[in-house]
Chains A and B, each alone.
Chain A
Amino acid sequence: MEIVVASGKGGTGKTFVAANLAYYMKTSVEPVVAVDADAEAPDLLLTLGGSGEELFEKPVSASRKASIDYNKCTQCLKCLDACRFYALRVIEGKPFVIEEYCEGCNACGIVCPANCISLYVKETGIVRADVSRSGVPVVTADLDVGGRNSGELVFLAKSEAYALSRELKAKHVVVDAAAGIGCPVISSLAGAHVLITVVEPTPPSISGAKRLLEVAEKMRVKPFAVLNKFDMPSSRIDDLTEELGVEVLGKIPYHRSVVEAYVNMKPLLAYAPDGEVSKRLKEIFNYFVESVLR
């Protein structure tokens, strides 16, 4: 089964839940492969203890960009009218490609009468695989800064994770998704079986979760929620099940040991296995594995 941990809003505890779920499954149930699909800010490997053993690293070239041959350019500027992405700008009479806006669609190349525009392929990031110090195999999508097409990178990272899971005879893949509901999150949800939405009891988080659930419904991924930091001071939430319309797997309290576990680069279940937060996590994960995954 492919389980995606996502949230809409950032900072609600996706990586925290994903890392501990993967660690729980690895130690108590069966082999698992984890995927860090937050390619713009990947932290899952770090949360699982950092790299204990590097398995591989592959560069990914997933975006195309236009390039202008100024020896041939007649400065007719027809390319400017053709571009729908604001990726061409005129400087001193000449067209220039704004690389980060360019989607490599070649509309400019098609209309250019001087045939002076060509496309080149640009490296956008890497997919790497490691066995973390806590023993969980982690495939990480890591986008170059300012990079485009993180969805493609996530797709490739997931493909690598599936290959690795066959090799390791792992039944489950846990995906730690990016914040938001855009391209990388949609790629995370594509083909997944179960979504765990991590919600904190604040209005922006609930709004983000609702937007995410709309996407999950379109993509036919079975949704669940967990309420993180439920005891946050002054927060107000009456009934999350009613609010979101999905089954809530449980509530996780906030405790300083969560931050301390991060600082010590261990999943909380390994750092403070007998603490109150770990107890709750184990109850939630046990229920999830026994009732949802079986």
Chain B
Amino acid sequence: MKAIAVAGGKGGTGKTFVAVNLARLLSSRDKTLLVDADVENPSTLFALPAEVKEVKQVESFKPLIDEAKCSKCGLCVKNCPEHALVMLVDKRILYFEDLCSGCEVCKLVCPSSAVNRGLRVEGLFKYGSYGESLDVVVGELKPGIRRSGFMITRLIEEHRGLFEKYSYVVVDSPPGSGVGLLSVVKEADVVVAVSEPTPLGLNDLKKFLTLLERVEKRLKVILVVNKHGLPGGLERDLEEEASKRGLPVIAIPYSELVVKSYVERRPIVDLHPESQVSKGLVEVAKLVSS
């Protein structure tokens, strides 16, 4: 199994676009799984007409306090790391679900076994497929839930066994450079960093590449300069950044066909295989699998 993380720092540079097309190209060689880890705003299913076959609720712990058993000792309140439990003057205990991380410390410290296990929904895992050899798993955070990092962790940890069944696992990552992304790139063999030739693209790419230095194992990193040829663009600065670090660079030109393929909800490599955009994507797939 080869794991490929598609990331790059800035939002809207084309991560989903590259991930979906890369997965499609790799699936013509061997069994491929596309994982949508952009749990706050998962978009792969807008770009790929995959059929969703199963939806699973992602649940986590919440305390249910048994008033009959509770001795009002307040240990749960004192030990709650998120301050999600509060004791009022009349010793009633209030629970703030939005703050709760589900760590179960309240249950661990309760001397009267008054904390029971309740469940709450934090999001969904969706499972689908497109054609014979491409499957998709999407992690989707429920709006209003803060904890996207943990959704990503669960998406990875709870599907390790599934990943092993594929030759390629392509992970569409969230924007940024935080902990959620770190947990994705740590699992990868190859990182495809997608950027765009703007000062913002460059700035965020640098921060993202610094993140990669924190990963101890050897990673193969490929820079994709998407929207290449954007009027007034900073292609050269991006290329310099890559050459400083010895990274291969692949340019994908800015093209109307990209938006069109989104509107038609089909990978551009299927719709317009002869386009310059598709040729760039084929280059990415070659580098990834070599």
Interface, chain A (partner B; CB < 8 A): 8-12, 15, 38-41, 43, 46-47, 64, 82, 84-86, 100-101, 103-107, 110-111, 143, 145-148, 150-151, 178-183, 185-186, 202-204, 207-208, 211-212, 214-215, 218, 232-236, 256, 259-260, 262-263, 265
Contact B13 A148 (CB under 8 A): no
Query: Are the CB atoms of A180 and B148 closer together than 8 Å?
Result: yes
Q: A233-B259, A236-B263 are in contact. Are A259 and B41 (CB under 8 A)?
A: no
What CA separation (Å) do A15 and B11 show in the bound complex? 11
Chain A nearest CB from B85 CB (Å) reads 13
Chain A hits for B46, CB < 8 A: 202-204, 207
Contacts of B141 in A (CB 8 A): 181-182
Binding site for A on B (CB under 8 A): 9-13, 16, 38-41, 43, 46-47, 60-61, 79, 81-82, 101-105, 108-109, 141, 143-150, 153-154, 157, 174-179, 181-183, 186, 198-200, 203-204, 207-208, 210-211, 214, 230-234, 256, 259-260, 262-263, 265
Residues of chain B with a CB closer than 8 A to A85's CB: 103, 150, 153
Q: How far is the CB of B227 from chain A (nearest CB, A)?
A: 9
Q: Are A43 and B153 neighbours in the complex by a CB distance under 8 Å?
A: no
Q: How far is the CA of A103 from the CA of B230 in the complex (A)?
A: 42
Further 13 A-B residue pairs, CB within 8 A, beyond A146-B177, A211-B143: A41-B175, A84-B103, A86-B157, A101-B153, A105-B105, A145-B178, A178-B176, A179-B175, A181-B41, A181-B148, A183-B149, A263-B198, A263-B234
Contacts of A214 in B (CB 8 A): 143-144
CB-based contact B43/A84 at 8 Å: no
Asked whether A106 and B179 contact (CB < 8 A) given A183-B146, A186-B146, A260-B232, the answer is no
User: Which A residues touch B104, using CB under 8 A?
Assistant: 82, 84, 107
Shortest Cβ-Cβ A-B pairs, 7 listed: A11-B12, A10-B11, A40-B176, A180-B40, A182-B148, A105-B103, A256-B231
Cβ of A105: which chain B residues have Cβ within 8 Å of it?
A: 81-82, 101, 103, 105
The interface residues of chain B lying within 8 Å CB-to-CB of A234 are 256, 259-260, 263
Q: A41-B176, A107-B103, A145-B211 are in contact. Are A151 and B146 (CB under 8 A)?
A: yes
Q: Do B105 and A148 touch across chains, with their CB atoms under 8 A apart? A: no
Please name the residue on chain A nearest to B234 by beta carbon. A263
B15 — nearest CB in chain A belongs to which residue? A10
Q: Contact at A110–B108, with CB atoms within 8 Å?
A: yes
Bound form: Cα–Cα A75–B99 in Å = 32
B182 and A146 contact, CB distance less than 8 A: yes
Chain B residues with CB under 8 Å of A218's CB are 143-144
Structural contact, B260 and A41, CB atoms closer than 8 A = no
> Chain A residue with minimal CB distance to B151?
A182
Cα distance, A179 to B11, chains bound together (Å): 7
Question: Of A15, A104, A180, which one neighbours B200 at CB under 8 angstroms?
Answer: A15
Whether A103 lies near B101 (C-beta < 8 A) is yes
Q: Do residues A211 and B41 form an inter-chain contact, with CB atoms below 8 A? A: yes
B226 to chain A, nearest CB (A): 10
Contact between chains at B103 and A103 (CB < 8 Å): yes
B103 touches A208 (CB 8 A): no
Q: Is the CB of A10 within 8 A of B231?
A: no
Q: Is the CB of A180 within 8 A of B81?
A: no
Contact A84 B176 (CB under 8 A): no
Contact A106 B211 (CB under 8 A): no
A263/B232 contact (C-beta < 8 A), A148-B149, A211-B143, A232-B259 known: yes
Of the residues B101, B144, B176, contact of A179 by C-beta under 8 Å: B176
Distance in Å: Cβ of B63 to nearest Cβ of chain A: 13
Q: Decide: B233 and A259 in contact? CB cutoff 8 A.
A: yes
Residues of B within 8 A of A202 (CB): 46, 259, 262-263
